[in-house]
Amino acid sequence: MSGKGTILITGASAGLGEEMARQFAALGYDLALCARRSDRLKALVEEIAAAHPARRVEARALDVTDGEAVHTVFRAFAEDFGTIDRVIVNAGLGKGAALGTGRHDANRETAMTNFVGALAQSEAALEVFRAQGRGHLVMISSMSALRGMRKAMTTYAATKAGVAALAEGLRSERVPGLDVSVVYPGYIRSEMNAHVAQKTRFMVDTPTGVRAMVAAIERRRVTAYVPAWPWVPIGLALRVLPLSVVRRLV
């Protein structure tokens, strides 16, 4: 049975990527999944295959900081499936420390994964989409990208702002047949933020948060703050409030 199309998701072995794979399979999509942890990927493929036997699910190990490997894997998926309809640039890290406190290694690792890795994924996706004449590029950013953040969040927020800027540049280029979406998740429980207090205000569980993400992606929204409540009004406020007020809010 043919599906609705093929979606390539990076960072699919855990968190938001893993749950997006489940939910898009349930909607009828075939999946090209990649992440560093091949054992977790294998378990996810088996789970989805059991729940949705009509769906085709393929997986490859990938470290998105290896630019050559990103291009190799994306090309291989395109050859395997014939067409990649959507690429979700999701792989990311949340490590970080205040600048100048001796943790350059953590900040650099986050920058390399979240921004340089996203650049490599975008390049590889656009190579496929330009050859096909169509495609949907989805960049997973963060509400923290809307303003500069303090201390451990400084580098992470900057990388996610860079991801959004890449997407806007592509929209400005008006590549024929290309749709570009940026999703700004709010507080969604995931492996990345498992250390955060369970009662963080506005935090939602992974399936609930990802449902909002998937709905926005399906509508091909140019920009989506998710879940819409309370993040749409918070997002609008963050863009205009003085930094002194933002510092007290987030």
User: How confident is the model over 11-47, as pLDDT tens digits?
Assistant: 999 999 999 999 999 999 999 999 999 999 999 999 9
Report the alpha-carbon distance of residue 31 to residue 25 in Å, rounded.
Answer: 7
DSSP state of 146: G
Q: Which residue has the tokens 């709905």?
A: 215
CA atoms within 13 A on the CB side of 90: 29
Annotated catalytic residue 156? yes
Question: Residue 197: pLDDT band by 50, 70, 90 thresholds?
Answer: very low
User: How confident is the model over 201-231, as pLDDT tens digits?
Assistant: 778 999 999 999 999 999 999 999 999 888 8
Average pLDDT of the segment spanning 87-116:
96
User: Phi-psi bin for 64: left (phi > 0), alpha (psi -120 to 50), beta?
Assistant: alpha
User: How confident is the model over 6-16, as pLDDT tens digits?
Assistant: 999 999 999 99
Is residue 91 helix, strand or coil?
coil
Report the alpha-carbon distance of residue 107 to residue 109 in Å, rounded.
Answer: 5
77-116: string of b/e by CB count within 10 Å (b at 16+)?
bbeebeebbbbbbbbbbbbbbeeeeebeebbebbbebbbb
The pLDDT mean for the chain works out to 93
Model confidence, pTM: 0.93
Sign of CA dihedral 139, 143, 146, 152: negative
133 φ/ψ angles, rounded to the nearest 5 degrees:
90, 10
Taking a C-beta distance cutoff of 8 angstroms, is the pair 226, 186 a contact?
yes
Residue 11, pLDDT score: 97
Report the alpha-carbon distance of residue 209 to residue 207 in Å, rounded.
Answer: 6
226 φ/ψ angles, rounded to the nearest 5 degrees:
-135, 150
Closest to 144 (Cα-Cα) out of 181, 112, 186, 88: 186
Catalytic residue among 156, 184, 187, 225: 156
pLDDT value at 196 more than 60: no
Question: Residue 193: pLDDT band by 50, 70, 90 thresholds?
Answer: very low
Domain 6-249 = CATH 3.40.50.300: no
User: How confident is the model over 43-100, as pLDDT tens digits?
Assistant: 999 999 999 999 999 999 999 999 999 999 999 999 999 999 999 999 999 999 999 9
